[in-house]
C-alpha cells in the first residue's frame, strides 16, 4: 500500500517542554507529564496526570515522521529552493497528515541538528527493554541521527541496574539531562525533590559509567537566603563526585501556583536577591575542583548568560565574569539588572552602550532604584521575574 492510500496515523502528541539545548532536536513524546510531580518550585506538570504512551503509538509516530521526511526529500530533490510554506502546500500526499506533526518533521529536516529529544519529564521510567525498542526504531528509521537525549530523575536512574543503562546506551541513548537542582540535603528535602545528595551522586556516576553523556541542571537561588552558601558548597561537592559532561545553570524563578510561591508569600521562604545569587554561583564555581565539565548559562532566567566555559581551563575566566559584575558600582549593578530584565541588555558589554545606559540610568533615578529596591521593582514590573 502506498503512502497516499494508507490510513495515516493522526495521534501525534507533543509535550510542553524541552531543554534549551534541544531547541533544534526532533521532539518525541514517550511518556506524558511527570510521575513524581512534587517539586515545590515546578509548575510544568501541575494539575496533569502521568501516563505511559502505548509503545505502538510511538513506533507509529516515528514511522509517520519518516514517511513525511521521505516526501520532503523527494520534493527538495526535484526543486531544492522551496520555502517551508511552499513545501507544505507542494504535494497532496501531505494533506492527510496531522499539521503539527508535518510542521515538526519539516522543521527538523530543514533546520534540525540531527538530534532527538525524548519527552516528558522522566523517560527512563519506561522499562529499559521497552525504551530500547523505541531507541532502536529511531536509529533504524533515521540512521543518520547523531544524538538521542532525555530527561531523567536520579531516583529513577538508581532503580535501573548498570546493565539496564548499558542496554540503553547500546540502543542509542547518548545523553541524559538530570534536574539535580542542589547537592544540599536540606535544600533537596525542602523542595521535595525526592532524592538525596548521595542519590544524585550515585545516579550521575551510574550514567557516566554506562557511557552516556550527562547534563546536570543546577538551580542557583533554590536554597533561598538562609541556605545560599550551603546550597553552593554542597552542590559543588556533589558535582565534584560526579564529574558530569555539562553543568547547566537555571536560576530560580518562583512561579505563581507553585508550593514555593505559597512559601514565599507566607514568609517561610526568603529568596535571594539577584546579587546574592551571583555571589552564590561564584562560590559554587570556585569550589568545583578536579572535574572536566562544560558550564553553560543557557537560560534567560540567569542574569549573566556569558558564564560559559570548560573546566578546569576556563575556571579563572568564569570567575572573572562573575567578579566583573560584583566589582561594578552599585548604580551599574542596578542598571545592568534593569537592562537585562527589561530586555535592553544581553550581557555585561552592553553597559558600554551610551544610549541604553543613559536611558536606564534615568529610569533608575526616576524610580529611586538602589540595590535594596531593584529586585522588588523588577518583581512588580516584569511578570516573569520573581
Ligand atoms: S521531577 Fe522535574 S518535572 Fe517533575 S516535578 Fe520535579 S522538577 Fe518538575
Q: Where are the domains of the chain?
A: 153-327, 330-386
The span from the CA of 182 to the CA of 188, in Å, is: 6
Nearest-CA residue for ligand 1 atom 4 is 37
- Give 382 Cα–ligand 1 centroid separation in angstroms: 25
Length of the chain equals: 386
Model pLDDT, residue 61: 95
Q: Cα of 384 to ligand 1 centre, how many Å?
A: 19
pLDDT of residue 384: 56
Ligand 1 centroid–CA 121 distance in Å is 7
237-248 burial, b for 16+ CB within 10 Å, e for fewer? bbbbebbbbbbb
Cα gap 179→184, rounded to integer Å:
14
Q: Which atom of ligand 1 is nearest to the CA of 36?
A: 4
Q: How many CA atoms lie within 13 A of 347 on its CB side?
A: 11
Residue identifier of the C-alpha nearest atom 8 of ligand 1: 42
Cα–ligand 1 centroid distance for 16 (angstroms): 13
- Atom 6 in ligand 1: residue holding the nearest Cα: 39
Strand stretches in 205-328, DSSP E: 213-218, 246-249, 294-296, 309-310
By alpha-carbon position, which residue is closest to atom 2 of ligand 1? Answer: 121
Smallest CA-to-CA distance from 302 within 323, 274, 327 is with 274
Q: How far apart are the first and last CA of the chain?
A: 56
Cβ count near 80 (within 10 Å): 7
Residues having CB closer than 6 A to ligand 1 are 34, 36-39, 42, 44-45, 121, 153, 179
Q: Where do the DSSP E strands lie in 33-164?
A: 51-52, 115-119, 147-152
CATH code reported for the domain at 153-327: 3.20.20.70
In the reported structure, the alpha carbon of residue 147 is separated from the centroid of ligand 1 by a whole-number distance in angstroms of 23
Q: Which residue has the cell 559532561?
A: 245
Mean pLDDT, contiguous 10-residue spans, the chain (386 residues): 49 90 95 98 95 96 94 84 76 83 90 96 98 98 97 98 94 98 98 98 98 98 98 98 98 95 97 97 97 95 96 98 98 96 95 95 95 93 64
Spatial separation of the C-alpha atoms in residues 368 and 324, rounded to whole Å: 24
Task: Please give the pLDDT value at position 95.
Answer: 82
Ligand 1: nearest atom to the Cα of 41: 7
Cell 552602550, located at residue: 353
Q: Name which residue sits closest to atom 3 of ligand 1, judged by CA.
A: 121
Return the pLDDT at 383. 60
Q: Which of 130, 205, 216 is nearest to 173 (CA)?
A: 130
Burial zone of 121 (CB within 10 Å; 0-12 exposed, 13-18 middle, 19+ buried): buried
Exposure letters 188-199 (e unless 16+ CB within 10 A, then b): bebbebbbbbeb
DSSP-derived letter for residue 154 is: H
Interval between CA 198 and ligand 1 midpoint (Å): 19
**Residue 328 near residue 50 (C-beta atoms within 8 A):** no
Contacts 24+ apart (CB under 8 A), 104-110: 104/12, 104/14, 104/26, 104/27, 104/65, 105/26, 105/65, 105/68, 105/69, 105/72, 106/68, 106/72, 108/24, 108/25, 108/26, 108/65, 108/69, 109/69, 109/72, 109/73, 110/72, 110/84
Q: Which three cell numbers stand for residue 51?
A: 501516563
- Rounded-to-integer distance, Cα 182 and Cα 203, Å: 14
Amino acid at each position: 500500500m502506498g503512502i497516499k492510500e494508507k490510513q495515516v496515523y493522526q495521534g501525534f502528541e507533543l509535550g510542553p517542554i524541552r531543554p534549551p539545548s534541544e531547541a533544534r532536536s526532533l521532539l518525541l513524546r514517550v511518556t506524558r507529564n511527570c510521575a513524581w510531580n512534587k517539586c515545590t518550585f515546578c509548575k510544568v506538570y501541575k494539575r496533569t496526570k502521568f501516563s505511559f504512551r502505548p509503545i505502538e503509538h510511538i513506533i507509529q509516530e516515528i514511522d509517520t515522521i519518516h514517511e513525511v521526511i521521505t516526501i520532503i526529500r523527494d520534493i527538495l530533490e526535484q526543486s531544492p529552493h522551496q520555502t517551508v510554506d511552499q513545501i507544505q502546500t507542494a504535494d497532496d500526499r501531505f494533506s492527510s497528515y496531522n499539521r503539527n506533526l508535518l510542521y515538526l518533521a519539516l522543521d527538523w529536516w530543514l533546520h534540525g541538528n540531527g538530534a532527538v529529544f525524548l519527552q516528558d519529564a522522566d523517560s527512563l521510567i519506561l522499562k529499559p527493554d521497552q525504551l530500547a525498542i523505541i531507541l532502536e526504531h529511531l536509529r533504524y528509521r533515521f540512521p543518520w541521527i547523531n544524538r538521542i537525549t532525555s530527561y531523567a530523575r536520579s531516583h529513577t536512574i538508581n532503580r535501573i541496574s548498570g546493565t539496564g543503562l548499558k542496554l540503553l546506551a547500546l540502543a542509542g541513548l547518548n545523553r541524559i539531562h538530570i534536574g539535580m537542582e542542589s547537592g544540599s540535603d536540606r535544600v533537596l528535602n525542602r523542595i521535595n525533590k525526592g532524592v538525596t545528595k548521595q542519590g544524585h551522586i550515585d545516579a550521575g556516576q551510574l550514567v557516566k559509567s554506562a557511557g552516556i553523556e550527562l547534563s546536570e541542571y543546577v538551580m542557583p537561588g533554590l536554597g533561598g537566603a538562609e541556605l545560599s552558601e550551603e546550597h553552593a558548597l554542597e552542590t559543588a561537592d556533589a558535582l565534584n563526585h560526579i564529574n558530569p559532561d555539562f553543568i547547566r545553570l537555571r536560576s530560580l524563578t518562583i512561579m505563581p501556583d507553585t508550593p514555593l510561591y505559597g512559601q514565599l508569600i507566607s514568609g517561610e521562604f526568603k529568596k535571594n536577591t539577584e546579587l546574592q545569587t551571583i555571589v552564590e554561583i561564584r562560590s559554587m564555581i570556585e569550589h568545583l575542583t578536579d572535574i572536566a565539565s562544560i558550564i553553560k548559562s543557557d537560560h534567560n532566567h540567569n542574569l549573566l548568560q556569558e558564564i560559559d566555559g570548560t573546566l578546569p581551563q576556563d575556571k579563572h575566566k568564569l570567575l572573572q565574569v562573575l567578579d566583573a559584575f560584583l566589582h561594578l558600582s552599585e548604580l551599574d549593578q542596578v542598571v545592568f539588572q534593569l537592562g537585562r530584565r527589561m530586555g535592553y541588555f544581553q550581557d555585561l558589554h552592553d553597559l558600554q552602550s551610551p544610549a541604553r545606559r543613559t536611558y536606564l540610568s534615568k529610569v533608575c533615578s526616576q524610580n529611586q532604584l538602589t540595590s535594596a529596591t531593584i529586585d522588588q521593582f523588577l518583581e512588580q514590573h516584569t511578570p516573569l521575574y520573581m
